[in-house]
Structure formats: C-alpha cells, structure tokens
C-alpha cells in the first residue's frame, strides 16, 4: 500500500453479489491456464505474487468482541454470548497467537522464495481481522500484481477450510473493485503433501521419546495416540469434497484426516523399526475438538475429552495428542488442547504430550513453496509427490464442492460454479 495508506484498513468485505466469468471462462477470476476448469492445471503460469490467506485473530482486549462479531457475522449472536467465547482470548491478554504466527510464516516463506530465486512477493490477508484480504488485494494491486496464487492456512477440504476462503477472495475482489484486474488461482488442499506430513511424524516420535525418558518402564501398548481436528456439523462434513467421489459419512474432510493419520502411524512404525523395534503397532484414533454448535445439531464425534476420559479403562497410561487438523498453534490449540485436553488427561491420571503443529517447520515451509512451483511449472499430476491415494487434490475445486448447508452456494473464485 502507499505510504499515506499504511496503518489504514479496508475492513472485512461484505458478501459478494457475483463472481463474474470472463468471456469463455468457467472459473471466476482465474488465470488463462485455470479458467477452463481442468481439475489439475498442467500449463505453466507466471504469477507475480502469493496471497497468504488466514483466519485472523484479535491483538488486544479491545479487539476481542469486534473480532468475534466478524467471525459470527450474519448469525445475530448477541455480545453477551460472544463473551462466553471471549474468555479464551481474555486469558491470553486479548491476543490470539495466530497473527504473530502468520508474520513468522510470511518471513519464512519469503526466505524460501529468495533461496529458490523466485521473484514473488507475499501479500498477507485475513478473513476476520487486520490485515484483511481486502487489504492484501489492494496492496498487491498497488505493487503492480495482476496474477496471484493463493495459499490458505488450511490443509483439508470443508466449507470453512477451503470454500469459504474462495468466497473471501470473491468478496474482496468485489469490495475493492478489482474484479477484472486481479486474477487469483489457489493451490489445492495439501493435507497429504510430504512437507505437511513430516512435522507430525517428527512430533509423534519426539513425544514417544519424551514419555519413555520420563518413564522407562512405559510400553507403547500403554500409549494412545489421538489425532485431533476441528469438529464441524455432520451435514457440512458430508458435503465436503465433490459428491462424485462418494466419500460417505464425514465426506472428504473425515476421509482426508483418516488417510493422513494412517500415513503418520506407518511412518512412525517404520522409524521405530529402523531403531530395532520391529512389529510395533500404535494404538490410535481420530477425534474431534472445539465444537461450537447447539446440542441439537449433530457434529463430528467423538470428542477428544470424552475419549481421554475412557482411556484408563482400556489400560492406557499415557496419551499423545496430535493436532493433525491445524497448521499452527492458534487459540483452539492452546486453549482446547493445552488447557482442556491436558486437564482431562490429568483427571484421568494419564501422562500427556501434545505434539507441535507445522508452524514454520522447514519441511512445511518448503512444501508450501513446492505447491506454488507446481503451478508455476505446470507440473503434471502424476509427478506431484503426495502421501495418500486421495491426492494430489484438485487445483480447481469441482462444482458443488464443500457446500455450507445453512448458507448454500455463495459467489466464489478458483473453482467451478456453484
């Protein structure tokens, strides 16, 4: 942004009324290589910037309620109820760690970009707090950018973790008046990219070593590994991913998490075998956390705290919590895991370890730029490294993917309509 605009913000964009298509295009605001709607774009594309998109979070006590109003906009939730959630942020001085984590990620991405000799500035914008996506697009345009490749800080398929970001981009293009001036492609969901998986492999191994150092008599059969992710309404989960894939209950969201968990378990078993512990079978399961909907609405289960409570009856003496669904240690990791899940483990008299999120792990940072380079080079699908049979995921989201049952299909970019 220009010097006189530094410190100002364009704010959260209103929902877009339209995501217009260029003549002959079937994907809104897409580059020529992606506008035809092919699932995987194998034509090289020259971008002139990266759009780093995230959720955002408050950075002072005064920010907390305005931030939560943004998060819940359109639902008519009174401030008194928002204060029930605000206590998590108040506990940390009103500051969510997510913005600082994104600053660190931006610096790490820029360093990796420079190391590879790529000329790509990174423009960072949030959904719910400063800097907003609108600010990032305005900054990019003022810098002369016209073609952006978007990296959203979310690895899996669902409304809130994929389609809503595509809606954010459509909202911001309309709000800034940049429709027709900025093209925005988006990297596919990267749940099974090696760079995303590696930090979880490392974390589980380190947690096992830590537990054994504390209690050399502890057997792996006494340990339960809980892979945890954000719960979502079952109706939304069932509509995650394209319906043509037939994922069934839990949709692509549950299937992707289960597939990645299986890879991590296999990797850890292999690493232990290389240490001389062949034939090890880890006890593990996929659990959910951070439910926020009414009790009458079905959400994905089981809840992590309920599972922890029942582990002693299964003979477990320790639990390793793996935040598989998260890319950084934001509030729902710090509060829901480091406070609530840890407290549940203490009440159950279980030793507790929580593994790190990818954060700025070198493999993760490198992997994100790998994803960008796949689009720059037009890497064929068959040559893209992925760790599960579900990927590589689509470069261009398929029609009807990740519908929000309550809101329906709103205008979005980087995918087929609706």
Structure confidence by residue, pLDDT tens digits, 175-206: 999 999 999 999 999 999 999 999 999 999 99
- Edge-to-edge strand order for the sheet containing 147-152? 122-126, 50-54, 147-152, 183-186
DSSP string, 202-268: HHHHHHHHHHHHH-TT--GGGEEEEEEEE--BHHHHHTSS-GGG---TTHHHHHHHHHHHHHHHHHH
- Determine if the peptide bond prior to 385 is cis (ω within 30°): no
Neighbouring-strand partners of residue 147:
183
Q: Does residue 27 register a pLDDT over 50?
A: yes
Tell me what pLDDT residue 2 has.
Answer: 38
- Residues of the binding site for Fe-coproporphyrin III: 96, 165
Tell me what pLDDT residue 5 has.
Answer: 44
- Residues of the binding site: 96, 165, 230, 332
Q: Does residue 8 register a pLDDT over 80?
A: no
Categorize the per-residue pLDDT at 6 as very low, low, confident or very high, splitting at 50, 70 and 90.
very low
Tell me what pLDDT residue 207 has.
Answer: 98
Alpha carbons 63 and 361: distance in angstroms, whole number: 29
Categorize the per-residue pLDDT at 62 as very low, low, confident or very high, splitting at 50, 70 and 90.
very high
Strands 183-186 and 283-289: unpaired
- Which of 69-78, 123-132, 172-181 has the least mean pLDDT? 69-78
**Residue closest to 129 by CA, chosen among 205, 73, 199:** 73
The topology under which CATH files domain 194-354 is Rossmann fold (3.40.50)
Q: Does residue 367 register a pLDDT over 60?
A: yes
Alpha carbons 201 and 413: distance in angstroms, whole number: 34
Categorize the per-residue pLDDT at 139 as very low, low, confident or very high, splitting at 50, 70 and 90.
very high
Q: Does residue 4 register a pLDDT over 70?
A: no
- Residues of the binding site for Fe(2+): 230, 332
Do 194-354 and 3-57+96-189+361-383 fall under one CATH topology?
Answer: yes
Average pLDDT over residues 224-252: 96
Each domain of the chain, given as residue ranges in start order, spans: 3-57+96-189+361-383, 194-354
Domain 3-57+96-189+361-383 CATH (choose: 3.40.50.1400, 3.40.710.10, 3.10.20.90, 3.40.50.10540): 3.40.50.1400
Residues 256-289 pLDDT 10s: 999 999 999 999 999 999 999 999 899 999 999 9
Categorize the per-residue pLDDT at 292 as very low, low, confident or very high, splitting at 50, 70 and 90.
confident
Neighbouring-strand partners of residue 51:
123, 150
Average pLDDT over residues 105-134: 98
- The proportion of the chain whose per-residue pLDDT surpasses 70, expressed as a percent, equals 98
**Which strand (E) or helix (H) includes residue 149?**
strand 147-152
Tell me what pLDDT residue 19 has.
Answer: 98
Q: Are 10 and 176 in contact (CB under 8 A)?
A: yes
Token reading at 111 = 């360093």
Tell me what pLDDT residue 183 has.
Answer: 98
Residues 326-362 pLDDT 10s: 999 999 999 999 999 999 999 999 999 999 999 999 9
């Amino acid at each position: 942004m220009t010097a006189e605009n530094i410190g100002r913000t364009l704010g959260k964009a209103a929902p877009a009324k339209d995501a217009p298509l260029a003549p002959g295009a079937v994907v809104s605001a897409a580059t020529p290589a992606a506008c035809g709607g092919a699932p995987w774009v194998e034509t090289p594309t020259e971008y002139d910037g990266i759009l780093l998109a995230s959720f955002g979070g408050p950075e002072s006590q005064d920010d907390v309620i305005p931030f939560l109003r943004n998060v819940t906009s359109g639902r008519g939730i009174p401030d008194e109820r928002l204060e029930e959630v605000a206590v998590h942020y108040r506990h940390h001085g009103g500051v969510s760690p997510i913005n600082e984590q994104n600053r660190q990620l931006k610096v790490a991405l820029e360093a990796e970009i420079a190391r590879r000799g790529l000329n790509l500035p990174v423009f960072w914008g949030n959904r719910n707090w400063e800097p907003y996506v609108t600010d990032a697009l305005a900054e990019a345009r003022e810098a002369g950018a016209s073609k952006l490749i978007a990296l959203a800080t979310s690895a899996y398929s669902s409304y809130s973790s994929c389609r809503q970001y595509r809606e954010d981009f459509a909202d911001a293009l309309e709000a800034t008046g940049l429709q027709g001036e900025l093209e925005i492609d988006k990297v596919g969901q990267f749940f099974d990219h090696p760079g995303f998986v590696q930090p979880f492999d490392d974390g589980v191994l380190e947690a096992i070593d830590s537990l054994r150092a504390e209690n050399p008599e502890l057997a792996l059969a006494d340990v339960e590994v809980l892979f945890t992710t954000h719960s979502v309404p079952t109706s939304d989960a069932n509509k995650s991913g394209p319906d043509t894939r037939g994922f069934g209950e839990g949709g692509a969201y549950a299937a992707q998490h289960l597939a990645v968990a299986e890879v991590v378990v296999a990797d850890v078993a292999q690493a232990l075998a290389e240490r001389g512990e062949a034939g090890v079978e880890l006890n593990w399961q996929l659990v959910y956390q951070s439910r926020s909907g009414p009790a009458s609405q079905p959400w994905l289960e089981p809840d992590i705290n309920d599972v922890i409570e029942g582990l002693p009856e299964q003979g477990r003496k320790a639990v390793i919590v793996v935040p598989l669904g998260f890319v950084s240690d934001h509030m729902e990791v710090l509060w829901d895991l480091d406070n609530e899940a840890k407290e549940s483990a203490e009440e159950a008299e279980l030793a507790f370890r929580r593994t790190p999120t990818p954060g700025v792990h070198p493999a993760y940072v490198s992997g994100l730029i790998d994803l960008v380079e796949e689009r720059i080079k037009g890497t064929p699908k068959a040559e893209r490294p992925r760790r599960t049979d579900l990927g590589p995921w689509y470069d261009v989201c398929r029609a009807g993917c990740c519908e929000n049952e309550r809101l329906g299909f709103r205008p979005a970019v980087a995918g087929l309509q609706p």
